Amino acid sequence: MELWQPDRVYFEADARNTVVGKRVKEYCLEKNIEMLETTSHNQVRNLPGEDEKAKYAAAKKTLIVGIKKSMKLEVCKPSADYQFSLMTNCPGSCEYCYLFTTQGKKPYVRVYGNLDELYNTIDQYIEKKLPHTTMFEAASTGDPLGVEHITGSLKDTIEHFSTLKSGKLRVVTKYAAVDPLLDINHNGNTRFRFSINSNYVIKNFEHNVDNLWDRLRAAEKMAKAGYPLGFLIAPIILHDGWKIEYKEMLEALHRHIGLQPNSFITFELIQHRFTMNAKNIIEERFPNTRLEMDPEKRQKKWGKYGRVKYVYEKHEAEEAKEYLTDLIKKYFPNGHIQYFT
């Protein structure tokens, strides 16, 4: 897939002269992209578009470079100890995106310039937990690889973590443009994970992200570059024929990755979930969606801040967990399933 290119870029004044701000400005000049000003990365108004669908499309082509104000890092269970944001939102438009719940009203892509401040904060959090190693997730508010060709932030962050003794980084992506990360010093401190799914899910619900084959080729490259590797099977959707399709997906993964020497691979299994807030936004933006979101067919689960999420009924979730666990054990005897949620 071609690399994402925004139609317009807004800058907060303080972000312009950060390393990231300068890189984005250079990119805009080279590609002849309109540059505008905003007082806050949280308030960009007057984006073009007559209706909700058109406004959403315009927002997904809008990039904002800002300064991240809060340096308080949130806990990020079960995948890490803490999460931090290099960006919020992403150029992709997956119909099931978990960000609809929290970022539904502001789908434009935001990236942050104050990386030095962020790295200081990360170092302080690590210091507080010594002698334990602290794990950080960099992709829970967006997909940083989707904008890496514009910001270079992920490369900087991986290099920062390569210098740390007691801090580890985890990243997850649905993109494949990993080439700028292959020759850098990562020191084995970043586990790079790819989010993969059945052909049905990718074809019907994932838009403006790379296809499975490109992701698998990218994973192969990262394995060869010595990165610890992982895969998120997420969201697991129990569509017609799901068993056959998830088996085919794991067979394809085995063909690409199974024989890599560093094949201690982690797997994270996340069943599909939705909140009522997300369901309403998804149905407005994707009126013909085939995503099944009938609360009557789901069980409730309470998430962060008392939010109610709808997940599969217990017996269905258990069946999916057992089935996928058996397949992973068969194809990846050294694989490690970290959680099913």
Q: By the criterion CB under 6 A, which residues form the site for ligand SF4?
A: 90, 92-94, 97, 99, 142-143, 174, 209
What's the min distance (Å) between Cβ of 196 and ligand SF4? 12
* DSSP annotation of 78: T
The string of DSSP codes covering 145-170 is GGGHHHH-HHHHHHHHHHT-SSEEEE
Q: How far is CA 191 from CA 6, 120, 161, 232, 330, in A?
A: 28, 21, 11, 12, 23
In terms of CB distance, is 175 or 227 closer to ligand SF4?
A: 175
In terms of CB distance, is 97 or 229 closer to ligand SF4?
A: 97
Is the CA virtual torsion 123, 63, 76, 103 positive or negative?
A: positive
In terms of CB distance, is 181 or 282 closer to ligand SF4?
A: 282
What's the min distance (Å) between Cβ of 157 and ligand SF4? 17
What's the min distance (Å) between Cβ of 203 and ligand SF4? 14
What's the min distance (Å) between Cβ of 131 and ligand SF4? 34
What's the min distance (Å) between Cβ of 139 and ligand SF4? 8
Q: How many CB atoms lie within 10 A of CB 184?
A: 15
In terms of CB distance, is 101 or 189 closer to ligand SF4?
A: 101
In terms of CB distance, is 91 or 167 closer to ligand SF4?
A: 91
Q: How far is CA 280 from CA 138, 142, 228, 276, 289, in A?
A: 28, 21, 38, 6, 12
What is the CA angle 3-232-70, rounded to 5?
Answer: 70
Helical pair 276-285 and 52-59, crossing angle rounded to 10 deg: 100
In terms of CB distance, is 11 or 56 closer to ligand SF4?
A: 56
**Tokens, residue 47:** 């984006």
Residue linked to tokens 């740390």: 164
Q: 338: closest CA among 190, 162, 170?
A: 170
What's the min distance (Å) between Cβ of 93 and ligand SF4? 6
In terms of CB distance, is 18 or 273 closer to ligand SF4?
A: 273
What's the min distance (Å) between Cβ of 56 and ligand SF4? 12
* Cβ 22 vs Cβ 65: under 8 Å: no
